[in-house]
Amino acid sequence: MLSTTFSIYHLEFYLLLFARIVGVVSVAPIYGTRGVPRRVRVGFGLCIALIVASIVEYTPLNYTTLLEFTILLIKELLIGLSIGFASMLCMTIINLSGMFIDREIGLTMVTAFDPTTNASTTISADFYNYLVLVIMLCSNMHYFVISAVCDSFQVIPVGGAIFDGEAFYGVVLTFLREYFEIAFRIALPIFITITLVNVLLGVLAKATPQMNMFSVGIEIKLILGLLIMVAMVIFLPNITDFIYGITEDLVLELMKAMY
């Protein structure tokens, strides 16, 4: 049931809600891209915080000075930034796998400016990144981000965050191990194919030394790599679903480490 009562204490409570939500919206995938204006993010965060404030039960805040209230605001902002940053990190797995692919097929030097991240990335990384974003939009990934921050108020009450450094270290260490492993598994078909091509070219270079296998190998690896990338498009929904699950697990583990 929506609450309609309001007082100065509810305003303080609302500010803490807003700090957590705007932290998520400012860095999370889709919402935190540079294509979304800052005013839109802030306005969207204000609207979501207003809805959440009407649903979440008000609890008195445990502070007595302005400094303590500021600390509460910073803690709530850190919770939101942690959830949004975790979601964004899971999306960079696709970028890393694209860089692995470009290194194998010889497109490392071909880079493009990505306006969403304000950085230069390789072509394959951009290709996979935008395809996965489209699939996530079609599968309501943007709803998951909002659902996660709203559900976080049930796991971590407002003003009740306790940051466990050891638990954070375990979560980050586990994720980094899986980060490189998943990215390599996505690029594994191209990696295996290019390795076999290199072996074959080495044998041919020994058998026919008069042929310039280096110049021939560049075209062969590029063509085969592009063909395999096109063939791998059918697996992108499965890859997206897997990254979606990794994002859910990482966000859940982070919330457990903060309460």
Instruction: Examine the pLDDT at 76 and tell me if it is beyond 80.
Output: yes
pLDDT at 174: 79
Q: How confident is the model at residue 4 (pLDDT cuts 50, 70, 90)?
A: low
Mean pLDDT of the chain: 78
pLDDT at 1: 47
Against a cut of 0.85, is the pTM above it?
no
Q: Which of 63, 103, 252, 129 is nearest to 191 (CA)?
A: 103
Domain boundaries, the chain: 8-257
Give percent of the chain above pLDDT 70. Answer: 92
Eight-class DSSP state of 228:
H
Instruction: Examine the pLDDT at 119 and tell me if it is beyond 70.
Output: no
How do residues 56-71 score in pLDDT, each as one tens digit? 777 777 777 778 888 8
Write out the two tokens for 256: 């457990």
- The pLDDT of 103-121, averaged and rounded, is 72
Q: How confident is the model at residue 9 (pLDDT cuts 50, 70, 90)?
A: low
Q: Find the angle CA(223)-CA(229)-CA(235) to the nearest 5 degrees.
A: 155
Other CB atoms within a 10 A radius of the CB of residue 123 amount to: 15
Q: Do 148 and 250 meet the contact criterion of CB atoms below 8 Å apart?
A: no
Instruction: Examine the pLDDT at 210 and tell me if it is beyond 80.
Output: no
3-state secondary structure of 21: helix
% helix, strand, coil for the chain, step of 5: 75, 5, 20
- The pLDDT of 196-200, averaged and rounded, is 83
For residue 40, the Cα-to-chain-centroid distance in whole angstroms is 20
Distance CA 231, CA 250 (A): 30
Which residue reads 């996660």 in tokens?
148
SS3 per residue for 108-144:
CCCEEEECCCCEEEEHHHHHHHHHHHHHHHHCCHHHH
Q: How confident is the model at residue 255 (pLDDT cuts 50, 70, 90)?
A: confident
Other CB atoms within a 10 A radius of the CB of residue 33 amount to: 17
Q: How confident is the model at residue 2 (pLDDT cuts 50, 70, 90)?
A: very low
pLDDT at 115: 67
Distance CA 26, CA 84 (A): 8
